[in-house]
Copies of this chain bind each other. A is one copy, B any other.
């Protein structure tokens, strides 16, 4: 059975793999500088963003992208406000601290950074001037760690608050494809992100690329910093072509005018919704509202273990009632048959 463990458990989507193979014999200068694939990919992404004046840079993975961007958007004594479950706060082994910057978690429990909590942290941290880390940016992820999707309204409210307090906005888009193609986006588009976020990234690793993330930068400080920091932090690929070629393939519109990147994201969402609906129909209890390619269920321990063993699901935590919060992830590669096979298996439990 196909694993529903993670979207990064998958290989590259067909058109991406084909592009890598097709360009394998080319020779290029390297470092994402001056090769036609990187330049073309940049142009395609700028076009999709509806802005000519943003910088588009490439990185290998999410942690590298996050640490370079947070580093480059903050002074040494500043910090990023985020939710307590934010990837930079818990899952990156202190990568932000390793750049000398601080992570300033709120008490939000649903994965969304709220204006109210951001305001509370901001007040607290600025209360005694230089004796405390100064908040200078907000970090959010879309989708959230719990599969939540930022709506246009919610996003704009946070941007408005941030602007009024002089804070920059960064969006971790490891699963941005799933977020922006979700009905829950309610008007939040790539163009809108490019308009309002100081920087964000378009995650490739989890949506059809072999690996790679594309960073869209408006912030002038990060724009200056990124090319140096990505090298200094060890994230600059010698064979820059590899990143350009993949994003070129992912963002070149197909016959129907849609780029594969969005098709893959829509498939991941659609399969996740089918999975959710069918498991719910079988009586399994969904947990929270995750209108994206991750679905969470509250399961009895033995049932959870069966999904872990057979479908590679991950257990996130033990819920207060003793049940286990269990995650199912769909991807560009998940098929109708894959979901049906899982549902069949679930039916037999």
Contact = CB atoms under 8 A, between A and B. Distances in A.
Interface stretch (A87-95, A150-158, A164-172): A87-95
Interface in A110-155: 124, 128-134
B239 A8 contact: yes
Interface string A311-329: 0100000000000000000
Interface residues on A, range: 35 or more
Contacts of A225: 75-77
Contacts of A129: 227
A3 interface: yes
A228 B94 CA distance: 10
Nearest to A230: B130
Interface in A227-247: 227-229, 231-239, 242
Most buried by B among A62, A205, A231: A231
A62 to B, nearest CB: 7
B237 A93 contact: no
A232 B98 contact: yes
A92 B131 CA distance: 6
B231 A93 contact: yes
Contact of A95 (B65, B95, B232, B237): B232
Contact of A27 (B23, B206, B229, B312): B312
A119 to B, nearest CB: 15
A20 B67 CA distance: 28
B17 A21 contact: yes
B77 A94 contact: yes
A30 B5 CA distance: 10
A214 interface: no
A61 interface: yes
Nearest to A91: B131
A11 B134 CA distance: 31
A240 to B, nearest CB: 10
